[in-house]
Structure 1
Amino acid sequence: MKKLCFYINSDWYFNLHWKERALAAKESGYEVHVVCKFEDVMIMSEFTSLGIKAHNSKMSEQSLNPLVIVKDLINSFRIIRAINPDILHCITIKPCIIGGLYAKFFKKKLVMSFVGLGRVFSSPSKKYKIIKRLVSGFYRWLSTKPDIFMIFEHESDRADLISITGIRPEKTIVIDGAGINTDEFKYLPDPANNTPVVLFASRLIWSKGLADLVKAKNLLQNKGVDFELLVAGITVKNDPDAIPHSVIEQWSNSKAIYWLGQRDDIKDLIGKCNIVALPSVYAEGVPRILIEAAAVGRPSIAYNTGGCSSIVINNLTGFIANKDIIDLADKLECLIKNKELRESLGHNAHLRVKSHFCSKYVVEKTLGIYRHLVE
């Protein structure tokens, strides 16, 4: 039996975005392992009950301290070496670097998933520019490995990495997002809310754009245009970009937002809202919340960053706003005031998910890469 090892930072992220692919690989005959920082005992227990072998890396996700990085590298090497996988599938930047080194040294077949190029490639700060140069050089060195395959969530990231690394295009593929089970996320008509409802659901970091939404809400209220802004979020620890809880409380107390905390009923929340907004300003992949919103038939508003425009097609499935509070507010106002437009864009969004982001296609493409590497 071939061994497939996923190596990733966070348990919640794998559970949300990758569990379906891991189970499909298991059903296809692979012995599936997941190496990540398990903070939620329930997730680890669920993986074990499903026949997925879970290993706690205890890795520090954000630290750039060289000593911490070396410790994470040694510990991860030890765990992966004990598994001895036939294929190592690394997801997000730190696992790609550490796992890439392991695969290079021990001559293992390597899959690297780029779920957006992130702050390292988009931040203007001097620190991240230095890191970008180092990471780019590493990817260039790693791309010469014969048994490597790179997965991207949208075409612009693939073009950027091909330019940076020189990797042959045939060793890359674009797989649109994480995939959605359209039997679970079914189309629902636009709800008849007395006051229109806008949903923001994401990690609570500044670069996801929640502050812009709060400012846009204030602008519209001054014009007499009212809506409820529901916020469901995952709080982030030890991240300099994290929104402090005191700020969330301030917005909540002033009624700028309705703070819902971390939720596991996102599908129901989407069904009860009229619009989903994610004005993210950094280069991520295709945000799952935008795919889920489209599947349910909700128009979304996003900035033109990362893979957002892969699912939010301007004037077809939602609106792409300029990175400007006034334009964001104008596009919100347009959707808030026009129920027929919301319904039309939402219907188009649902059809796009069925044709491009259905989980069946995502799983089939991913398993096809594994078969290609082991044959």
Structure 2
Amino acid sequence: MRLPDLARASEIGARFGTRASIAFVVNTDRFFLTHRASWARAISAAGGSVTVIAADTGFADRIRELGFEFIPVEMGRESVSPLRASQVAWRLFQTLNKGAYDTVFLVATAAYTLGWFASLTMPSTRFIRVITGAGRALDGRSTLASLIVGSQLRFSARRRNVYSIFQLEQDLDRFLTRKMAVEPRSSVIPGTGIDTRLWNPAPAQRDPSRPQILFASRLFAEKGIGTYLAVARALADKAEFLVAGAPDLGVSTSVRPEDIAEWTGVVTYLGQSDDMLGLLQSADVLLFPSTHPEGTPRVLIEAAACGVAIVANDQPGSRAVVGDSAIFIDGVDEDDWIRATHEVLEHRELRHSLGRSARQYVVEHFDLAQTLTSVLEIAGVPLARKAPQ
């Protein structure tokens, strides 16, 4: 798997100094590599030790190759039973107490719902809930999952050693209103940050005679795969349509593997990509028809940095990534998506203009140095800046 941000993360982390032991609790090993490895690399470069606690889906050895300890724990997803959830919470409680970490990042819903209990017996450890969006468990439906998650968020927010990082001001406000966070221990950091020097356009890799329209996401209904397929069927003669991603079988609305076979002749299915940089540098347009409660989607940040024109659902997270430098669709009407995609295909200069302005916005707001400086300062214990060399 290609991880373009690690070299830059090492440079940034070397400006800090720490002997802290820091853990990342995330849903899967692959998610850690794609979304948090740069944070861990910066901590390691600063002198800290890093442990990753996640489900092992085949990437544990890659994490160990980076110099991090890996402890496998299966988190479960939305369909997990209360009994299974309590078992995971107990396993995390034991693992975190045994590790006696200085700082623990609880990344995404399962981690901060089930991992915060250790804060009760580790009062000197800073627990940082990384809230990357409201998620399905907090999307307004009165389900058992949403009730459990909401109650755990309120309980954990009361702990003086529990902090929160949000990607969107709107999510912070929502959590404050519901007493799921406290303002003095909450911060907004818009995204994971990327090395905008490496995530850049590569016009020579694009074929103007056959534009590529990309969908890159987990494959379940709320991510908009159905809308994308409708666009692909309508405009198949004007572009090449590519799908990168895999079914998320832990979600009830996941695409089934057998469904993918029916896409033959409509789209080219790539599976999960281990080289998003190369894939985006070849793409002309990214369609992002997601209705999922997103934070600031990393794929939008990466696409914008690579100068890809974006057509996206009009959500706060999408606008936070690119400002006004995209075509936004209000809703999921397939005809609206077809018309908008046809427009960017027919007007090459529009594609280029959108790509240029989106890249400029990301360079100004999502550069890795800004993000990591904020993350290391919030992590706090004890990340002190070294004297310049």
Alignment identity in percent? 24
Once the 2 structures are TM-superposed, how far is the Cα of residue 142 of structure 1 from its aligned partner? 1.8
Aligned ranges 1:186-265 → 2 under 5 Å = 186-189=200-203, 191-220=206-235, 226-252=238-264, 255-265=265-275
Once the 2 structures are TM-superposed, how far is the Cα of residue 220 of structure 1 from its aligned partner? 4.4
Q: Which residue of 2 aligns with 1:155?
A: 169
Alpha-carbon RMSD across the aligned residues, in angstroms, is: 2.0
Q: Give the conservation status (yes or no) of the 8 Å contact 1:103–1:110.
A: yes
Q: Which residue of 1 aligns with 2:36?
A: 18
- SS of the counterpart of 2:22? strand
Of 263, 287, 299, the residue aligned with 1:289 is: 299
**Which deviates more from structure 2 when the two are superposed, residues 227-236 or residues 350-359?**
227-236
Amino acid at match of 2:159: K
Of 311, 327, 331, the residue aligned with 2:336 is: 327
TM-score normalized by the length of structure 1: 0.91
Q: Describe the superposition over 1:3-36 as per-residue Cα deviations: whole angstroms up to 9, x where unpaired.
A: 1111111111000010010010112222211111
Amino acid at match of 1:232: A
Q: Which residue of 2 aligns with 1:303?
A: 313
Once the 2 structures are TM-superposed, how far is the Cα of residue 247 of structure 1 from its aligned partner? 1.7
Of 119, 125, 140, the residue aligned with 1:103 is: 119
**Which deviates more from structure 2 when the two are superposed, residues 225-234 or residues 18-27?**
225-234
Q: Describe the superposition over 1:105-127 as per-residue Cα deviations: whole angstroms up to 9, x where unpaired.
A: 43232100011111112264x42
Return the alpha-carbon distance in structure 1 between the equivalents of residues 297 and 246 of structure 2. Answer: 14
Return the alpha-carbon distance in structure 1 between the equivalents of residues 231 and 147 of structure 2. Answer: 36
Amino acid at match of 2:306: V
Q: Which residue of 1 aligns with 2:20?
A: 2
Q: Give the conservation status (yes or no) of the 8 Å contact 1:104–1:142.
A: no
Of 364, 375, 378, the residue aligned with 1:355 is: 364
- Runs (4+) of structure 1 exceeding 4 A deviation are 372-375
- SS of the counterpart of 1:106? coil
Once the 2 structures are TM-superposed, how far is the Cα of residue 373 of structure 1 from its aligned partner? 7.5
- SS of the counterpart of 2:279? helix
Return the alpha-carbon distance in structure 2 between the equivalents of residues 140 and 244 of structure 1. Answer: 35
Q: Are 2:104 and 1:88 equivalent residues in the alignment? A: yes
Q: Are 2:47 and 1:29 equivalent residues in the alignment? A: yes
Q: Describe the superposition over 1:67-110 as per-residue Cα deviations: whole angstroms up to 9, x where unpaired.
A: 21122122222221211111111011111022112113432321
Q: Describe the superposition over 1:149-169 as per-residue Cα deviations: whole angstroms up to 9, x where unpaired.
A: 210112211111111116432
TM-score normalized by the length of structure 2: 0.88
Once the 2 structures are TM-superposed, how far is the Cα of residue 366 of structure 1 from its aligned partner? 0.4
> Size of the alignment, in residue pairs?
363
Q: Give the conservation status (yes or no) of the 8 Å contact 1:63–1:69.
A: no
Q: Give the conservation status (yes or no) of the 8 Å contact 1:86–1:109.
A: yes
Return the alpha-carbon distance in structure 2 between the equivalents of residues 168 and 300 of structure 1. Answer: 35
Return the alpha-carbon distance in structure 2 between the equivalents of residues 328 and 298 of structure 1. Answer: 17
Once the 2 structures are TM-superposed, how far is the Cα of residue 322 of structure 1 from its aligned partner? 1.4
Q: Which residue of 2 aligns with 1:343?
A: 352
Q: Give the helix-richer structure, 1 or 2.
A: 1
Return the alpha-carbon distance in structure 1 between the equivalents of residues 186 and 339 of structure 2. Answer: 39
Amino acid at match of 1:17: H
Q: Give the conservation status (yes or no) of the 8 Å contact 2:213–2:242.
A: yes
Q: Describe the superposition over 1:132-158 as per-residue Cα deviations: whole angstroms up to 9, x where unpaired.
A: 233223222221222222101122111
Q: Which residue of 1 aligns with 2:9?
A: none
Q: Which runs of 5+ in 2 are unaligned?
A: 1-18, 385-389
Q: Give the conservation status (yes or no) of the 8 Å contact 2:286–2:309.
A: yes
Of 115, 118, 122, the residue aligned with 2:132 is: 115
Q: Give the conservation status (yes or no) of the 8 Å contact 1:92–1:114.
A: yes
Once the 2 structures are TM-superposed, how far is the Cα of residue 306 of structure 1 from its aligned partner? 5.4
Return the alpha-carbon distance in structure 1 between the equivalents of residues 343 and 149 of structure 2. Answer: 42
- SS of the counterpart of 1:234? coil
Amino acid at match of 2:283: C
